[in-house]
């Protein structure tokens, strides 16, 4: 496998993984492209490389910027904008974990809390609802905390030592 093929494989795999994780294809592909690029890319570069429209590129770049994954960079002597993505995988994971927690997990925990704290009217079905949503709430809470803590360990000693402990 040569460079071009490998690059395309990486970008398309990352793209379809994105879809699976609630991030759209173009967004994931743009991030992938920037991730392996040796220098910041302009909108033109991205459009050309991924064969997508200007509008699409613009909208998805904005989303990536909202996620905190991509940043605009100024290239001196150039008028147009250039973009790069976070290049350190640890930092990338940290950002994604934080955003997913904020956007997806926290709101669910909130609903589970509300549902699990309805008044117990003594019926079996109400008790089951309370019991099960409470259990789900606790699990979700634990996993969310764990994920954030793990991924926030800058030095990553914890992941390493926990892994070693278990391997």
Partner DNA sequence: TTAAACTTTCAATAATTATTGAAAGTTTAT
Partner DNA sequence: ATAAACTTTCAATAATTATTGAAAGTTTAA
- Binding status of residue 58 toward DNA by CB under 7 A: yes
Helix (H) or strand (E) holding 42: strand 41-42
Give the count of residues interacting with DNA (CB under 7 A).
22
- Of DNA, a copy of itself, none, which one does residue 3 interact with (CB within 5 to 8 Å by kind)? a copy of itself
DSSP 105: I
Nearer to a copy of itself, 58 or 145 (CB): 145
- Nearest residue to 72 (alpha-carbon basis) of 98, 42, 94, 29: 42
With H, G, I as helix, E, B as strand and everything else as coil, classify residue 83: strand
- In this chain, which of 6, 17, 19, 152 binds DNA, going by CB under 7 A? 19
- In this chain, which of 51, 121, 122, 155 binds a copy of itself, going by CB under 8 A? 121
Quote the least distance from Cβ 131 to DNA, whole Å. Answer: 28
Residue 135: how many CB atoms within 10 A of its CB? Answer: 12
- In this chain, which of 7, 10, 12, 24 binds DNA, going by CB under 7 A? 24
- In this chain, which of 62, 102, 106, 110 binds DNA, going by CB under 7 A? 62
- Binding status of residue 68 toward DNA by CB under 7 A: no
Q: How many secondary structure helices (H) and strands (E) does the chain include?
A: 8, 3
Helix, strand, coil % over all residues of the chain, rounded to 5: 70, 5, 25
User: Cα Rg for the chain, rounded, in angstroms?
Assistant: 21
- Binding status of residue 153 toward DNA by CB under 7 A: no
Nearer to DNA, 61 or 151 (CB): 61
- In this chain, which of 52, 105, 130, 150 binds DNA, going by CB under 7 A? 52
β-strands 70-73, 41-42: how paired? unpaired
Check: CB of residue 106 under 8 Å from CB of residue 144. Answer: yes
Contact residues: DNA, CB under 7 A: 19, 24-26, 42-44, 51-56, 58-62, 78-81
């Amino acid at each position: 496998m040569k460079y071009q093929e490998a690059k395309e494989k990486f970008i398309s795999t990352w793209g379809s993984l994105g879809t699976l994780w609630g991030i759209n294809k173009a967004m994931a592909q743009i991030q992938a492209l920037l991730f392996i690029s040796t220098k910041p890319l302009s909108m033109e570069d991205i459009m050309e490389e991924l064969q997508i429209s200007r509008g699409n590129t613009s909208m998805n770049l904005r989303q990536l910027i909202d996620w905190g994954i991509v940043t605009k960079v100024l290239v001196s002597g150039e008028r147009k904008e250039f973009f790069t993505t976070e290049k350190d995988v640890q930092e990338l994971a940290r950002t994604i974990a934080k955003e997913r927690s904020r956007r997806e997990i926290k709101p669910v925990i909130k609903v589970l809390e509300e549902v699990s704290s309805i008044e117990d009217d003594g019926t079996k079905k109400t008790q089951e609802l309370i019991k099960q949503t409470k259990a789900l709430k606790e699990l979700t809470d634990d996993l969310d905390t764990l994920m954030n803590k793990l991924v926030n360990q800058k030095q990553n000693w914890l992941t390493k030592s926990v892994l070693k402990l278990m391997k």
